[in-house]
Amino acid sequence: MSSRWIAAICFICVGQALCSSTDSQREFLKISPAQNQLLKEECSNLNSHAGSVFKLLSGGLEENYDLFNFMVQIIHVKQKGDGKLDIVSICSGAVISDIHIITAASCFDYEYNGIVNTPLSEFKIYGGSFCLYMNKKQALYDNIVRKECPDVKSYSDQVLSIKPISLLIPMASVISNLHGIPFYGPYSDIAIFEVESLSNIPKNHDYDLISPICIASPLMPERATPVYTIASFGRRKEILESIKYNDGENPINVRLNIEHEYNVHINKCPSSIHVEACKNIIIIEPDLPAAEGDNGSPVMVTFGKKHFLVGVLSARENVGPAYKKYILATHITEFHRSICNYTGICMLENSTDILSESEQAILITKDDDGKSVFGNGTSIF
């Protein structure tokens, strides 16, 4: 793909899509330098944790949510005629600041020529608990069929509904989702929600129920620990089989799943792929295939009791036959500059560089009819 073609895509802005800021367009909100400094201080003590690798032994048992209190579930729903909600997609995500959540760009709707401008009101984001069950008596009950938690009351009282304000997707992720794996650059399948500040959560909730995950510094050793952890609210076959539901209903798993992966290849190919096509990507040989809801899950390394985000899981299907047995993930290290530029989360020095065409982004800021397609204007193809 030529740089001219990429530039043509990037700099044609339609409706609420932002490729560059203007006075009349709302910018994607960044955290302040002071907030970033607090994150850096909280997350920069890798050396103090590196001596003791903390290995969780879940054995199929529940993990304590406070170890994964950055986890959220993202549900795309549309209103049906009967007043109920039709589930379009289910993804996981991770809180990375007081106002930002990272997930996979492939969670969203695409047409052949770009990303569909989906109304933000169609996205429901939940967090704050190991199990996201809610009953009819709760204000945020939404008619979505869910499996009940072991102790419904204690879990349902903790569930938080997080309001999305805008959605930012790098052009590299748009292109990647339209045309498969781009071997000319880092694998890119990420998106970032700006959300209502988590400091505004209701007074009856403990702020510690939800807090940001640390973004791993590019200076961290690639193989700092032999065990990677993936946390998600994804559906699993054995969970679905244990749920009794009526035809036409679509129960979703709302209990956090923890998977530990040992065969993780960062910037290199597994033995079955004999090509130089594995740079700038995370490739996982999983024990279980990715399930619906796993898309956008954080791939983490753990030191002490602190988790560090190294990748974002991608459950895309159009990745080519050679990769069908693997799960791919975006390597966050390749996108520190973009994340710093757009969110203010800068684990190294603040970035003042001009972003390349593929690092520019589409920004969806408010509802419309959902029929617009952003990414190339109307006449590229």
The CATH number of residue 223's host domain is: 2.40.10.10
Query: Is 380 inside any structural domain?
Result: no
Q: Which domain, by its residues, includes 155?
A: 3-374
Ranges of beta strands (E only) in 80-208 are 85-97, 100-103, 110-111, 114-116, 123-127, 160-162, 164-170, 191-195
pLDDT tens digits, residue range 335-375?
A: 888 899 899 998 876 555 556 655 677 888 765 555 566 66
* Cα 128 to Cα 135: distance, rounded to the nearest angstrom: 16
Q: What percent of the chain has pLDDT over 70?
A: 66
Query: Is 32 inside any structural domain?
Result: yes
* Cα 236 to Cα 234: distance, rounded to the nearest angstrom: 7
Query: Is 369 inside any structural domain?
Result: yes
- Angstrom distances, CA of residue 47 to CA of 29, 38, 174, 224, 306: 31, 18, 36, 11, 12
Query: Is 381 inside any structural domain?
Result: no
Tell me which H or E stretch contains 9. helix 3-10
Query: Is 379 inside any structural domain?
Result: no
Residue type, 118: T
* Cα 236 to Cα 241: distance, rounded to the nearest angstrom: 9
Tokens 């997609």, residue?
Answer: 89
Query: Is 177 inside any structural domain?
Result: yes
Q: Which of 43, 48, 42, 53 is nearest to 302 (CA)?
A: 53
Number of domains in the chain: 1
Query: Is 60 inside any structural domain?
Result: yes
- Per-position DSSP letters for 209-247, written without gaps between them: GS-PPEEPPTTS-TTS-S-EEEEE----HHHHHT----T
Query: Is 331 inside any structural domain?
Result: yes
pLDDT tens digits, residue range 105-159?
A: 999 988 877 888 888 989 999 998 888 888 888 888 888 878 777 776 667 778 8
The arithmetic mean of pLDDT across residues 257-275, rounded, is 80
- Range with the lowest mean pLDDT among 98-107, 253-262, 266-275, 355-364? 355-364
pLDDT tens digits, residue range 206-253?
A: 556 788 999 987 766 555 556 788 999 876 655 555 555 554 455 677
